[in-house]
Amino acid sequence: MEKDYHNIANLCYEIGTLRRINRSHRQHFLTADASDNIGSHSHRVACIAFMLAQLEGVDPYKTAVMALFHDVPETRSGDQNWVHKRYVTAHEDEVVQDQFGSLPFDDLSKVVAEYRERTSPESIVAKDADLLDQILLLKEYAWSGNKEADLWLKGKDQDQNKHLSLLRTESGKKVGACILDGSPSDWWNGLSTSENRT
């Protein structure tokens, strides 16, 4: 049992390194955005997953756990963008087994494997959350003037809705459409004021 606590502590340290792993799409978006890392990505994906799961009527807690842990294997395999994946093979099954197999939580490795299989309703919702985070990021970068991100968002045919076809849930498509139709600063409309509250 003492070894279990050491394994948990070690995984906690390892998970902490996610905030130091830059997402590899920075290469294509021509950006040096240090705030965009695997840790920040996983956090927003988990929040989106929790909300989407409730809209879709599936277990929000299981879905959020999937989203929280979906990229933990990247501490060992790195983050590969769509070009890297053409040339690189990540042995994710081995990584997942090495990371989670020695923990006293059998369900954790099962949840991570379930996410990767994409057959359960929760895994489909969690993947939609992952895709929605990417749409949000592309929109944020494009809004700030990043032409490369705008090109990735809209494609050569200038159809920003092409990303919606990748989403599999109705709620994901509706949220995605709102992301594309809105702006990254809409959330604070009506909140700003020139005077402090008394």
Q: What is the pLDDT of residues 100-117, one digit of tens each?
A: 988 998 888 899 999 999
Q: What is the mean pLDDT of residues 16-22?
A: 84
Residue 93 has pLDDT above 80, yes or no: yes
Residue 67 has pLDDT above 90, yes or no: yes
Q: Closest Cα to residue 79, out of 130, 141, 139, 44?
A: 130
Residue 119 has pLDDT above 90, yes or no: yes
Tokens of 161: 């809705």
Residue 43 has pLDDT above 90, yes or no: yes
Task: Give me the numbers of helices (H) and strands (E) for the chain, helices first please.
Answer: 11, 0
| Full domain range(s) for residue 106 | 2-184
- Angle, helix 38-56 to helix 121-143, in steps of 10 degrees: 130
Give domain status of residue 190, yes or no.
no
Give domain status of residue 198, yes or no.
no
pLDDT for the residue numbered 183: 93
Total-model pTM: 0.89
Residue 179 binned pLDDT confidence (cut-offs 50, 70, 90): very high
Residue 75 has pLDDT above 80, yes or no: yes
Give domain status of residue 189, yes or no.
no
Give domain status of residue 92, yes or no.
yes
pLDDT for the residue numbered 46: 97
Q: What is the mean pLDDT of residues 57-85?
A: 90
Give domain status of residue 96, yes or no.
yes
Per-residue pLDDT reduced to its tens digit, 133-177: 999 999 999 999 988 888 888 877 777 778 888 999 999 999 999
pLDDT for the residue numbered 129: 98
**Based on the structure, what is the number of domains in the chain?**
1
Q: What CA–CA distance (Å, rounded) separates 163 from 55?
A: 20
DSSP state of 184: T
Give domain status of residue 35, yes or no.
yes
Give domain status of residue 55, yes or no.
yes
Which residue carries 């003037």 as its tokens? 145
Q: What CA–CA distance (Å, rounded) separates 173 from 31?
A: 27
Q: What is the CATH number of the domain that holds 108?
A: 1.10.3210.10
Residue 63 binned pLDDT confidence (cut-offs 50, 70, 90): very high
Give domain status of residue 178, yes or no.
yes
Q: Which amino acid is at 10?
A: N
What b/e sequence results for 18-57 when a residue is b if at least 16 CB atoms lie within 10 Å of its CB, and e otherwise? Answer: beebbbbbbeebebebeebbbebbbbbbbebbbbbbeebe
